[in-house]
């Protein structure tokens, strides 16, 4: 049986803003993005998902109900995508669904991404591939980041040493040398702390273009205290999430006298410096930096990175053929294709797993 070469990728990241769905064609050498749909999280679902990041009463039922609600939203987003692209379900080989991470504890042997995959397959009539992280963890890996394998497949260059920087809730980096092993790891918080702080203080979901941060001044003592966290000094492979970097973590470094705008400026500086330090320390020869994720559109953050990384090209992945806000969703369409074709989806040198593994559980449509 020859599988269709159209796949859907679904991504809802640690920023908890909503769901991106992309339709990707794999007929040619390079994947082609054929369409995109987006649905924001309803406020009650977002609140439920935030609450589930931390222990609470009746957690099992809350988790299952949230997974059902989330899967219904995923299905609606897939339907939007098929309608926009005038695509039939029969032409879609599978949906690659990352799910919504609520716990990432590879040191304890697990990572939890919420989705009710059988329900999603039932609602869409399309095969669903999900649970990509736990097979890598079972093989001794971090289960993250997973997108470097996709970055290597579509963005690698034999002529230039590139680094792909994804700035979502967490910032992660893929090192793509002209030759030799691929590396990738989480640098630390991307938008997560900035989003949480502006939501707490101004009731806004994100700091557009870093405008609020630009009204404040960096607090050197606070920045130094934040950077003392053990995570920043670890060598790869390493991964992190909201379990680590959250409002409680931030507040533990505050004395209450800080101006809120100054804290926001410091958090932007933290994101930029932890990224720049990671590039300088772990891939100093990278001459081209390509950005993706929501943070790639924060103008102030981009300018900070350019200042901290002189002599390097800093551009969006759009220049490599994939829109910067859709790279992660496209990556999970690719991972679904790998699974259906019996091919590995991880890079052991990135995650620390004992070897290459086929990732994802398959739920026929």
pLDDT, tens digit, for every residue of 67-88?
999 999 999 999 999 999 999 9
* Other Cβ atoms closer than 10 A to 79: 15
Contact present, 269 and 304 (Cβ < 8 Å) = yes
The pLDDT of residue 57 is 86
Which domains does the chain possess? 6-142+325-363 (3.30.420.40), 147-320 (3.30.420.40)
SS3 357: coil
CA distance 44 to 124: 24
Q: Are the C-beta atoms of 147 and 96 separated by less than 8 Å?
A: no
User: For residue 317, what is the DSSP state?
Assistant: G
Selection from 200, 190, 162, 214 nearest residue 295 by Cα? 190
- DSSP letter assigned to residue 258: S
Q: What is the pLDDT of residue 3?
A: 60
Q: Is 149 helix (H, G, I), strand (E, B) or coil?
A: helix
For the record, the structure tokens of 309 come out as 């990384």
Containing 112, the helix (H) or strand (E) segment is strand 110-114
Cα separation, 210 vs 195, in Å, equals: 11
3-state secondary structure of 69: helix
Question: If you ran DSSP here, which 8-state letter would residue 256 be given?
Answer: S
Pairing of strands 162-167, 170-176: antiparallel
What span, in angstroms and rounded, lies between the C-alpha atoms of 126 and 122? 8
Tens-place pLDDT, residues 9-45: 999 977 788 999 999 999 988 899 999 999 999 999 9
Q: How far is CA 85 from CA 9, 79, 206, 332, in A?
A: 14, 10, 30, 19
CA 323 remoteness from chain centre? 14
Report, as ranges of residue numbers, the positions in the chain whose pLDDT lies below 70: 1-3
SS3 140: coil
Tell me the two tokens of residue 113.
């991404």
pLDDT at 1 (0 to 100): 45
What DSSP string runs through 269-302?
Answer: HHHHHHHHHHHHHH-TT--EEEEESGGGG-HHHH
């Amino acid at each position: 049986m020859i599988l269709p070469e159209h796949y859907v990728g679904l991504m809802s990241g640690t920023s908890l803003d909503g769901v991106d769905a992309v339709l990707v064609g794999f007929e040619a050498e390079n994947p082609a993005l054929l369409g995109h749909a987006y649905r924001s999280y309803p406020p009650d679902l977002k609140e439920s998902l935030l609450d589930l990041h931390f222990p609470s009463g009746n957690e099992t039922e809350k988790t299952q109900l949230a997974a059902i609600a989330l899967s219904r939203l995923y299905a609606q987003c897939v339907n939007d995508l098929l309608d926009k692209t005038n695509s039939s379900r029969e032409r879609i080989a599978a949906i690659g669904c990352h799910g919504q991470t609520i716990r990432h504890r590879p040191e304890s042997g697990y990572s939890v991404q919420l989705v009710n995959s059988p329900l999603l397959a039932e609602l869409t009539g399309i095969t669903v591939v999900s649970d990509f992280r736990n097979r890598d963890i079972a093989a001794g890996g971090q289960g993250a980041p997973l997108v470097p394998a996709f970055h290597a497949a579509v963005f690698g260059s034999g002529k230039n040493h590139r680094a792909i920087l994804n700035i979502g809730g967490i910032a992660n980096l893929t090192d793509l040398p002209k030759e030799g092993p691929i590396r990738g790891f989480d640098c630390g918080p991307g938008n997560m702390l900035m989003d949480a702080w502006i939501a707490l203080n101004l009731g806004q979901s994100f700091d557009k273009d870093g405008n609020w941060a630009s009204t404040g001044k960096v607090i050197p003592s606070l920045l130094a205290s934040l950077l003392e966290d053990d995570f920043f000094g670890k060598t790869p492979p390493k991964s992190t999430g909201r379990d680590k970097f959250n409002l409680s973590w931030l507040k533990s470094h505050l004395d209450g006298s800080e101006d809120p705008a100054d804290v926001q400026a410091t958090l932007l500086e933290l994101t930029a410096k932890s990224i720049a330090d990671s590039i300088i320390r772990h891939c100093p020869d990278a001459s081209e930096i390509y950005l993706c994720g929501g943070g790639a559109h924060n103008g102030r953050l981009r300018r900070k990175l350019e200042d901290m990384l002189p002599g390097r090209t800093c551009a969006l992945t759009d220049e490599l053929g994939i829109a910067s806000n859709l790279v992660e969703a496209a990556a999970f369409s690719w991972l679904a294709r790998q699974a259906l074709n019996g091919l590995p989806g991880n890079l052991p040198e990135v995650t620390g797993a004992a070897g290459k593994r086929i990732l994802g559980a398959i739920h026929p449509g």
